[in-house]
Amino acid sequence: MAEPLQVSDADFEQEILKSDIPALVDFWAAWCGPCRAIAPVVEELARDYAGKVKVAKMNVDENAKTPAKYGIRAIPTLIVFQGGQVVEQITGAVSRSIIENAFKKAL
Amino acid sequence: MPAWDYDLIIIGGGPAGLTAAIYAGRARLKTLLLEKLIHGGQMMTTDLVENYPGFPEGISGFELSDRMRKQAERFGLLIRTQEVLELKPGKPMHTVVLEDGSLTAGAIIIATGAHYRRLGVPGEDRLVGKGISFCATCDGAFFKDEEIAMVGGGDNALTETIFLARFAKKIHLIHRRNQLRGAKYLQERISQLGKVEVHWDSRVVEFQGQDNLEAVKLLHVKTGETTVLPLTGAFIAIGMLPNSGWLKDLLPMDEWGFLLTDEVMATGIPGIFAAGDIRAKLWRQISTAVGDGSVAAIAAENYLEELKGG
């Protein structure tokens, strides 16, 4: 999995909550500057952790249910899931090392 | 020239850094720009820039930063996405320490900008991202038909209020003085919106709510009266603090950490310049950052010429 996986409300449970490996979901939208800022970092992580962490993106413009379920009121928000549970949640554009540290605990 | 990696390293890719890069490229300096996240800086989060000359209809912050980057790359700029951990001054070259090594340069321009200041009141840190936001263009759409607050009274606060009015049902503009500082043009636009209530002479003293923001507590600074406004969102635009923590006390700074420079953007150490929002100065605009960036690059070029000559 070289590219981040695009997930939707419909396949969120199957792809993320039931994932065998930890998952990192980037909640984003096209109109959000800081989301654009972290996009290259998320792509890098998808490449570098292929097979170890499922890196995914959810467009909050097209999917309302999942962001509402997790109380997301700001983007970018990055959530690390493990075994269907939220392990870590980061809001705002942060550097690669902060995101890495968030899911390293789950590895 | 001595054997350094680059003639000039620019740290920070906002309008100051990108402008410095355009000038440095045209001066044929071997230039590297290091950016922690992505070029554009705070411009990236501005919906519509209406006060930058040359764009009579306004331009999105994203597009403006993209254009500046392309212009700099046309003159040979190299950009690397990397965070600078430390700056080590030296003679004749300075060293920039990165996570995976270090680089040397004859001159350095620091243009790492500033970040949003928090109010520093109870509930704030806990509820950021849960109703409290510093970026209207990022998060405004989550507050459709809701009652929200904007804290501040400067240009940023007013611009964001106008943007938020697309979504919110009602906006409480909370300002600690009895008049707004932002541009008169913006004030007129706000009064025409018909959904903004201004709370003068008022300070937020607490953000309330369990898992999400539920209310803000206001203190009227003249009467001492407190009121609680039930709200689901609060945006804060009360000025900036410099991104200068990584410099420790290497360079002369003011009490908040903004870098002190002379009129050619020189800091206390020869060959190290500063440009843009990180400088101690009165106004922080894209246009002033652009001015700083061009001056810093010309000054850096002159400095390198003198090094070579002398």
Tens digit of each residue's pLDDT (9 = 90 or more) over B213-252: 999 999 999 999 999 999 999 999 998 999 999 999 899 9
What residues in B contact A97, CB-CB < 8 Å? 83, 99
User: If you average pLDDT over every residue of chain B, what do you get?
Assistant: 93
The answer to whether residue B186 is domain-embedded is yes
Per-residue pLDDT at B310: 62
- The answer to whether A8 and A39 are in contact (CB under 8 A) is no
pLDDT at B163 over 80: yes
Please provide residue B58's backbone torsions phi and psi, each rounded to the nearest 5 degrees: 85, 165
Q: C-alpha distances in angstroms, B67 versus A16, B19, B48, B304? A: 37, 11, 15, 28
Same domain? For B172 and B193 the reply is yes
pLDDT the model gives residue B1: 57
CATH homologous superfamily for the domain A5-104: Glutaredoxin (3.40.30.10)
Q: What is the Cα–Cα distance from B27 to B45, expressed in whole angstroms?
A: 31
Tell if the CB–CB gap between B129 and A40 is shorter than 8 Å.
no
**CA B68 from chain center: how many Å?**
16
Give the nearest chain A residue to B233 (CA atoms): A73
Helix (H) or strand (E) holding B35: strand B31-35
d(CA B156, CA B133): 13
Query: Could you say which DSSP state residue B273 is in?
Result: E
Let me know if B5 is a catalytic residue.
no
Does the residue B23 lie in any domain? yes
> Among A32, A39, A72, A87, which one carries the catalytic annotation?
A32
What is the rounded average pLDDT of the residues B32-58? 85
The CA distance from B165 to B148, in Å, is 10
Q: Domain containing B104 — which CATH number?
A: 3.50.50.60
CB A95 within 8 A of CB B83: yes
Q: Compute the distance between CA of residue B227 and CA of residue B209 in angstroms, rounded to an integer.
A: 15
CB contact under 8 A, B135 and A74: yes
- Cβ distance of B128 and A74 shorter than 8 Å: yes
For residue B18, which phi and psi values (nearest 5 degrees)? Answer: -70, -40
CB contact under 8 A, B138 and A76: yes
B73 and B211 co-located in one domain: no
- Verify whether the Cβ–Cβ distance B138 to A38 is below 8 Å: no
* Residue B283: pLDDT band with limits 50, 70, 90: confident
Please, are residues A106 and A94 in contact by the beta-carbon 8 Å criterion?
no
> Is B249 designated active site?
no
Q: Is B133 a member of any domain?
A: yes
Instruction: Tell whether B230 and B126 lie within a shared domain.
Output: yes
Q: Say if residue B132 is in the same domain as residue B91.
A: no
- Report ipTM for this prediction: 0.73
Are residues B101 and B169 both part of a single domain? no
Taking residue A66's Cβ as centre, other Cβ atoms within 10 Å add up to: 21
| Residues in contact with B304: Cβ distance below 8 Å, sequence separation at least 6, in sequence order | B1, B7, B8, B29, B106, B107
Catalytic residue, candidates B125, B138, B254, B262: B138
Quick one: tokens of B65? 């930063």
Q: In Å, how far is B139's CA from the nearest CA of chain A?
A: 5
* Residue B103 structure tokens: 């680089």
Is A32 among the residues known to form the active site? yes
B142 lies in which domain range?
118-236
- Chain A residues close to B46, C-beta within 8 Å: 33
Mutation site, B34, B36, B38, interface A, largest A CB count within 10 A: B38
Pairwise pLDDT comparison (B137 vs A6), residue with the higher score: A6
Rounded to 5°, angle at Cα B261 from B249 and B84: 50
Measure the CA–CA gap between B189 and B147, rounded to whole angstroms. Answer: 19
- Say whether pLDDT at B18 is over 90: yes
Here the tokens at position B295 are: 């001056």
Q: Is the same domain home to B24 and B110?
A: yes
Beta pairing class for A54-59 and A5-6: parallel
Residue B1 covered by a domain: no
What is d(CA B290, CA B304) in angstroms, rounded to the nearest whole number? 21
Question: Which of chain A's residues have a Cβ under 8 Å away from the Cβ of B137?
Answer: 31-33
Same domain, B89 and B190: no
Are residues B139 and A38, on separate chains, in Cβ contact within 8 Å?
no
In a domain, B79, yes or no: yes
Mutate which: B139, B160, B207, B213, vs A, most A CBs within 10 A: B139
Q: Which of B211, B236, B261 is the last residue of a domain?
A: B236
Question: Do both B122 and B231 map to the same domain?
Answer: yes
Where a domain ends, among B212, B236, B260?
A: B236
pLDDT band, residue B37 (cuts 50/70/90): confident
Task: Out of A38, A71, A89, name the one closest to residue B37 (CB).
Answer: A38
Model confidence band, residue B3 (pLDDT cutoffs 50, 70, 90)? confident
| Predicted pLDDT of residue B55 | 95
Q: Give the pLDDT band of residue A94 (cuts 50, 70, 90).
A: confident
| Range B162-182 average pLDDT | 95
What average pLDDT does the segment B21-27 reach? 97
Q: Number of folded domains in chain B?
A: 2
Q: What is the mean pLDDT of residues B195-204?
A: 97
Which among B99, B72, B105 is positioned nearest to B86, based on CA atoms? Answer: B99
Please check whether residue B11 lies inside any domain of the structure.
yes
Arithmetic mean of pLDDT, B101-125: 95
Q: Which long-range contacts (CB under 8 A, 24 or more apart) does A88-94 make?
A: A89/B129, A91/B128, A91/B129, A92/A34, A92/B129, A93/A34, A93/A35, A93/A37, A93/A38, A93/B37, A94/A38
B256 with B108, same domain: the answer is yes
Residue of B nearest to A41 (CA): B37
Is the whole model's pTM more than 0.90, yes or no?
no
Asked whether residue B256 falls in the same domain as residue B215, the answer is no
CB contact under 8 A, A33 and B129: no
User: pLDDT at residue B200 above 90?
Assistant: yes
How many residues are listed for chain A in this entry? Answer: 107
Mean pLDDT of B94-113: 96
Among the residue ranges A28-37, B19-28, B295-304, the one predicted with the least confidence is: A28-37
Shared-domain flag, residues B125 and B223: yes
Tell me how close the Cα of B233 comes to any Cα of chain A, in angstroms.
9
How confident is the model over A100-104, as a mean pLDDT?
Answer: 89
Q: Are residues B152 and B101 in the same domain?
A: no
pLDDT tens for each residue of A50-84: 999 999 999 998 998 999 999 898 899 999 999 99
CA distance B224 to chain A (A): 32
A59 CB neighbour count, 10 Å cutoff: 16
Query: Which amino acid, B40?
Result: G
Is A96 a residue whose pLDDT tops 90?
Answer: no
Q: What is the C-alpha separation between B36 and A95, in angstroms, rounded?
A: 7
Determine whether the interchain pair A74/B137 forms a contact, defined as Cβ–Cβ distance below 8 Å.
no
Q: What is the pLDDT of residues A5-54, one digit of tens each?
A: 999 999 999 999 999 999 999 999 988 888 888 888 899 999 999 999 99
